[in-house]
Chains A and B, each alone.
Chain A
Amino acid sequence: MTERIVIVGAGTGGIVLANNLAEELATEIDAGDIEVQLVNDGEDHVYKPTWLYVPFGEKTLADATRPLVDLVDDRIDLTIDRVDGVDTDDKTVSLAGAGVDESYDHLVLAMGAQVTPEETPGLAEGGHHFYGPEGAAALRDELAEFTEGHLVVSVVGVPHMCPVAPLEFALMADAWFRDRGLREDVDITYTYPIGRAHGIESVAEWAGPLMDDRDVEVETFFNAERVDPDTKTIHTVEGRELDYDLLVAIPPHDGSDLVREAGLGDDGWVDVDPNTLEARGADDVYALGDVADLPTSKAGSAAHYAAGALADRLASIARGERPTAEYDGKTVCFIESGTDEATYIAFDYEESPTPKPPSKLIHWSKLGYNRSYWLTARGVL
């Protein structure tokens, strides 16, 4: 009888998992003993870190996407459809477009995170963001016209995708305005919800003096409650007000209604074992990447390494062997600290990160990785 592995979502986690399984289980798939189905609600794979560069005119939206058919191994059954229900008792997922239920023996949820600016009153009307293609393009147009005034980079929601991106945006904006000879006419303020510039203490300790050196004002314990688009004012839970001319906000994020409705996580993130990635609410269900409630960053890097470990586990399980591979929380993140320099952090569940001194070499390594990312998606890197 054929063993069916169904993966929902073809972001970094889903696609790396599918391609790794195709390689590890090639013999079994070719023999018809195992099927791997990858379901995605669009025809393209998206490399979201590209969006950070779009507002500064350094990348285009087209740079962020490739057709899935060009990236996914031929051994994978690629299905373009939206999964609108999961029944963990019957072990089925329902496909909205086809109107059918697909059975699974092993299910991997990898739908990522959604941005929900509408959760904060006035934010959608009064602010911009770079956490989606339309937002990044609109911000590019706005920045191109912005020659003076107060730019506020405000982290409204935590957790959010790519935890270092807000710092990167503030530092890149500083350098970008300097490069254009406009910095003296632009004030930049960066706000963060807790009492330091970043959730990870070592990153906050690194960023604080750097922001000071770049003349970027840092406001901590700053939690936007509502935005008034008419007066261009942010009102916070702490009772403070901050006026802006251009607001770049990191919107609140949400997991998935699918997760809530399936009883896999009340807050929309799948409650999983952090090492095995097995859902605690059902048998034979796993979660990968941003949708998993893991004590590490919601970042493609974490999804990439977790996908490698889960591929090893699932391949063992599908062969009837005892799985031994585990995800240790490994994450590696580049951090742009200007327009021509960057640093990086590497960490896991046990080891805290230590940012290295920024350099042009690391910046160019980051740009090189952006180009070679498509090899990661193919499961090569």
Chain B
Amino acid sequence: MSETDERADVTVDAVGSSCPGPLMDLIGKMKSVESGTVVELLSSNEGTEKDLTEWTEQSGHELVDIVDHGDHQSYYVRKR
């Protein structure tokens, strides 16, 4: 397991969801949190990293860390 210093303010659990469910769950949460909030997305979908990387590049929100838990990943995104 990787280690991270990042601490999430909110966690969205989308483990088991198929594409694009995890990204949509994250975006839904991002609508309701304040600027600067770090949201942790839990996903086991292999397409999430690519989708999320593209989305954060386009949106300006920051993908600050990815932690591999083996059967799923944590993606930490800070709202700009």
Contact = CB atoms under 8 A, between A and B. Distances in A.
B24 A238 contact: no
B27 interface: yes
Contact of A194 (B20, B30, B31, B80): B20
A313 to B, nearest CB: 23
Given A221-B54, A237-B30, A158 B60 contact: no
A238 B60 contact: yes
A178 to B, nearest CB: 32
A132 interface: no
B51 interface: yes
Interface in A218-246: 221, 223, 225, 237-239
A238 B19 contact: no
B53 to A, nearest CB: 10
Contacts of A158: 20, 24
Interface in B7-51: 18-21, 23-24, 27, 30-31, 51
What are the 4 closest A-B residue pairs judged by CB atoms, nearest first? Answer: A238-B59, A295-B18, A194-B20, A221-B58
Helix, strand, loop or mixed for chain B's interface? helix
10 contacts: A159-B24, A193-B23, A194-B24, A194-B51, A195-B58, A221-B54, A221-B59, A238-B58, A238-B59, A295-B18
A225 B24 CA distance: 13
Contact of A239 (B31, B54, B60): B60
Given A194-B55, A237-B59, A225 B31 contact: yes
A326 B9 CA distance: 41
Please classify how large the interface on chain A is, using the bins under 10, 10 to 19, 20 to 34, 35 or more.
10 to 19
Contacts of B18: 295
A122 interface: no
A199 interface: yes
Chain B, interface size: which category?
10 to 19
A221 B27 CA distance: 10
Contacts of B59: 221, 237-239
Interface of B: 18-21, 23-24, 27, 30-31, 51, 54-55, 58-60, 80
Interface string A186-225: 0000000111000100000000000000000000010101
B41 to A, nearest CB: 14
B31 A199 contact: no
Contacts of B19: 199
Nearest to A220: B58
A195 B54 contact: yes
A159 B23 CA distance: 12
A158 B14 CA distance: 14
B27 A193 contact: yes
Contacts of A193: 20, 23-24, 27
A199 B27 contact: no
B54 A237 contact: no
Contacts of A199: 19-20
A195 B51 contact: yes
Contacts of A223: 27, 31
B55 A195 contact: yes
Given A221-B58, A238-B60, 11 more contacts: A159-B24, A194-B23, A195-B55, A195-B58, A199-B20, A221-B55, A221-B59, A223-B31, A237-B59, A238-B59, A295-B18
Contacts of B27: 193, 223, 237
Nearest to A223: B27
B12 to A, nearest CB: 11
A42 B31 CA distance: 34
A221 B51 CA distance: 10
Nearest to A271: B16
B31 to A, nearest CB: 5
A159 B19 CA distance: 11
A237 B31 contact: yes
